[in-house]
Amino acid sequence: MLFNSHIFLFLFLPLVLAGWYFLNYIRKFKLAQGYLAGMSLWFYAYFNIRYLWMLLVSCLIGYLLCLWMEKTVSDRGRKGIVAIGCLFHIGMLGYFKYSNFFLENINAVFGTDFSLLTVLMPVGISFYTFQQLAYLVDLYRGDAPLCSPLDYLTFMVYFPQILQGPILRYEEMVPQFREEKRRHFDAERFAKGMQHFTIGLSKKVLLADTLAKAVNLGYGNISMLDCPSAILTAVGYLFELYFDFSGYCDMAVGLGKMIGIEIIENFDSPFKSASVKEFWRRWHITLGRFFTKYVYIPLGGSRKGKFRTVLNTLIIFLLSGLWHGANWTFVFWGLLHGIGVAWDSLDFFHLPKKWMRQAVTFLYVCLAFVFFRAETISQGFLVLKAMVTPKWNGFLFQMGEALDISELYILTKAISMKAPSLLNPVNLIFLLLLFAISIIVLAGKRASAIVEQAVMNRRYAFAFAFLFAWSVLSMAGVSTYIYFSF
């Protein structure tokens, strides 16, 4: 079930809110939490019922490992349980996500002919796998206590964040289940949640999904790209990815506020970063935190000299790349970001002005993300080549036409009938205007700052109501989230 779908907005969410607040109102707190967990399982099962059984098996075995950990006294035995947990969770993730990738590479390297498996990757497995691993390790280290089965299930399947994160830790969610004040309806908190959700919905529907039309045309016709269209294709994908993923996370934060079980933000204006290292402190914050806390620091972090710091950084980003997808393009993308972060860590050279460092950082990140989107590494280099080759063939006009903005249908139809020669320039203007709006949004405040600093009045309320209605009316097209694939 998608957040940007009518069934979610007009059936699922009202049922969740009504049942949750009613059961809490009559002080059936455990039943209310069970209801929330049950609705979360329905939300997840809506995609495919087979996904649900895999999730439940993962949670059951994950919790049994936690129980075993709690009853084990010796450090050696507890370490063994962590090892078993890693083998189970990572093994499950590896089977569903990487089995065919490894088989394809074995066949390519050794000339074998192993048949590929028919594997259906469960949505969100990369996120709930890491969240369960993090909790198991925290339990081993004494950073978190053992929670009840209901708390564990709700923690792992909470519907606002199960599909795309954030990847949360125990102290960021479970203690909220015991705060009675969160069980009662709070009008101010609920209003802020609606505003946060609306911002995320508009970023996803109005910006990400519209940009995707032009970007998909560009990456689907790489041989046709000239210099300006290649640049807009690369930049457009980075914008699309950000609005898609951060839009989802903003909606998740908003939903959390509406329910009262809040989740943390996952983005902090990453395109204002003045270094690649800073970019990764602001982009997909909880994933970076997971790799830092559970992999980078145990490897030695930056405590064992510059060589080990660089090596550990590269390992982290290679793993991050592989986590994102079973393709060498993701590994190469991770390597590029690892090199960028390692360079920043070595502190060799800095440009004198902040805006210069921000511009160079954006350029480097944008070029690296070309390989994140490309189907092959060689295809990514073709896009980069097109970006630096002085050439114009008018492909931008086709990218503008691909937007096919329904709100402008009457205008474009009239132009096509009365002055067809103006249609291409008008479509190009719409394309450039879309990029200009995207840049303005990126340069502005993040969603939480807008919501917290806003002064509620009629104009403000009307603006959000209009934005919500516009987003809902624009949800007619087929849409999904990019990170569902990861």
pTM of the model: 0.93
pLDDT over 90 for what percent of the chain?
Answer: 76
pLDDT value at residue 23: 97
Which of 435-467 are b and which e, b meaning 16 or more Cβ less than 10 Å from the residue's Cβ? eeebeebbeeebbbeebeeeeeeeeeeeebeeb
Q: Sorting pLDDT into bands at 50, 70 and 90, what band is 301?
A: confident
pLDDT value at residue 476: 67
Q: Contact, 247 vs 200, CB < 8 A? A: yes
List, by residue number, the catalytic residues: 324
Q: Sorting pLDDT into bands at 50, 70 and 90, what band is 1?
A: confident
- Quote the CA–CA distance of 217 and 389 in Å, as a whole number: 19
- Quote the CA–CA distance of 171 and 151 in Å, as a whole number: 12
- Among 88, 91, 124, smallest CA distance to 102 is for 91
In this predicted structure, the answer to whether residue 478 has a pLDDT above a threshold of 60 is no
Residue range 191-206: average pLDDT?
95
Residue range 397-413: average pLDDT?
86
Q: What is the largest CA-CA distance in the chain?
A: 82
pLDDT, tens digit (0-9, with 9 covering 90-100), for 348-370: 777 888 899 999 999 999 999 99
pLDDT value at residue 459: 86
Structure tokens at 104: 């394809």
pLDDT value at residue 477: 60
- Quote the CA–CA distance of 427 and 423 in Å, as a whole number: 6
pLDDT, tens digit (0-9, with 9 covering 90-100), for 313-322: 999 999 999 9
- Quote the CA–CA distance of 329 and 370 in Å, as a whole number: 9
pLDDT value at residue 479: 64
Residue range 211-228: average pLDDT?
95
Greater confidence, 414 or 293? 293
In this predicted structure, the answer to whether residue 475 has a pLDDT above a threshold of 90 is no
Q: Does the bond joining 420 to the residue before it have cis omega, within 30 degrees of 0?
A: no
- Quote the CA–CA distance of 267 and 283 in Å, as a whole number: 5
pLDDT, tens digit (0-9, with 9 covering 90-100), for 44-83: 999 888 889 999 999 999 999 999 999 998 999 999 999 9
- H helices of 147-226, in order, are 149-157, 170-173, 187-202, 209-220
Instruction: Tell me the residue type at 76.
Output: R
Residue range 394-415: average pLDDT?
87
- Quote the CA–CA distance of 74 and 336 in Å, as a whole number: 42
- Quote the CA–CA distance of 205 and 198 in Å, as a whole number: 10
Q: Contact, 43 vs 1, CB < 8 A? A: yes
In this predicted structure, the answer to whether residue 302 has a pLDDT above a threshold of 80 is yes
How does the average pLDDT of the chain come out, rounded?
92
